[in-house]
Amino acid sequence: MRILVADDHDLVRETIASFLLVSDGINVVETAGTLDEALSIVEDSVAFDLVLLDYNMPGMNGLTGLKRMKTATNDGRVALLSGTASPQIAQDAITEGAVGFVPKTLGSKSMVSAVKFMIMDEVYAPFDFMKQVQEKAVGNLSERETSVLMGICEGKSNKEIARDLDLQEVTIKLHVKTLSRKLEARNRTHAAMIAKERNLV
């Protein structure tokens, strides 16, 4: 299994690589310190089974870096690493196509298990970490869906909401579809009416 680890901290890269190298069948082929360096490696190498990207390293620009790497790998397996990103960012990354979100605080055995899980085309995200998204939910809507709903209630377009939340417009469309289903709303206007009636925003 060929892995690319991209992180701007040498110690983090070396630590993660050492965790994975002790596991049979996992080969950390390359490491990189920036998104551009990682993209260059991907373009010049045989396909990787998994690419691990640090959310905060140079060049990432939020989830834009994830999208660029997904494109470079022909929609291959790409996961985010982070020691500071919120559960909502992790949820957004998975919505955007990441195969997982890996906190840098994971122990060696958990890190190896997470990597093997993602290579098998499963989506990995620590349950206790992701549960925080639900704890911040309003009603049965996630924190992000609530933010999108607020934008709708303010009469903003998907493009305007995407700009406000620093997300892709297609991601906003997905959130609108999901929250409309949860609210049993026929359209955006109906969703806004329901939100105001239920004091959701």
CATH number at residue 159: 1.10.10.10
Whether 112 and 68 share a structural domain: yes
Whether 31 and 65 share a structural domain: yes
Range of the domain at 169: 137-197
How many CA atoms lie less than 13 Å away from 57 in the CB half-sphere? 24
Query: For the residues 7-14, what does the mean pLDDT come to?
Result: 90
**3-state SS class at 201:** coil
Query: For the residues 142-155, what does the mean pLDDT come to?
Result: 89
Check: CB of residue 66 under 8 Å from CB of residue 82.
Answer: no
Whether 109 and 15 share a structural domain: yes
* pTM confidence score: 0.66
**What amino acid is encoded at 49 in this protein?**
D
Confidence of residue 49 (pLDDT cuts 50, 70, 90): very high
Whether 79 and 157 share a structural domain: no
Query: 127-132 long-range contacts, Cβ below 8 Å, gap at least 24?
Result: 129/87, 129/90, 129/101, 129/103, 130/87, 130/90, 130/91, 130/101, 131/87, 132/86, 132/87
> What is the reported pLDDT for 119?
93
For residue range 85-143, what is the model confidence (pLDDT) as tens digits? 888 888 889 989 999 999 988 888 889 999 999 999 899 988 777 666 555 555 678 88
DSSP state of 50: E
Query: What is the rounded CA–CA span in Å between residue 100 and residue 94?
Result: 6
Tokens of 148: 């999108």
Query: What is the rounded CA–CA span in Å between residue 105 and residue 128?
Result: 13
Confidence of residue 68 (pLDDT cuts 50, 70, 90): very high
Whether 180 and 110 share a structural domain: no
Query: For the residues 28-45, what does the mean pLDDT come to?
Result: 91
Q: Is 74 left (phi over 0), alpha (psi -120 to 50) or beta?
A: left
Last residue of one domain, picked from the residues 81, 102, 133: 133
Last residue of one domain, picked from the residues 115, 133, 151: 133
Report the length, in residues, of the chain.
Answer: 201
Whether 118 and 103 share a structural domain: yes
Query: What is the rounded CA–CA span in Å between residue 48 and residue 78?
Result: 10
Whether 171 and 81 share a structural domain: no
Instruction: Calculate the average pLDDT of the chain.
Output: 88
Separation in Å, CA 15 to CA 1, 9, 25, 41, 81: 18, 10, 18, 20, 13
Tokens of 73: 């790998």
- Give 161 or 134, the one with higher predicted confidence: 161
Confidence of residue 35 (pLDDT cuts 50, 70, 90): very high
Exposed, middle or buried by CB within 10 Å (0-12, 13-18, 19+), for 121? exposed
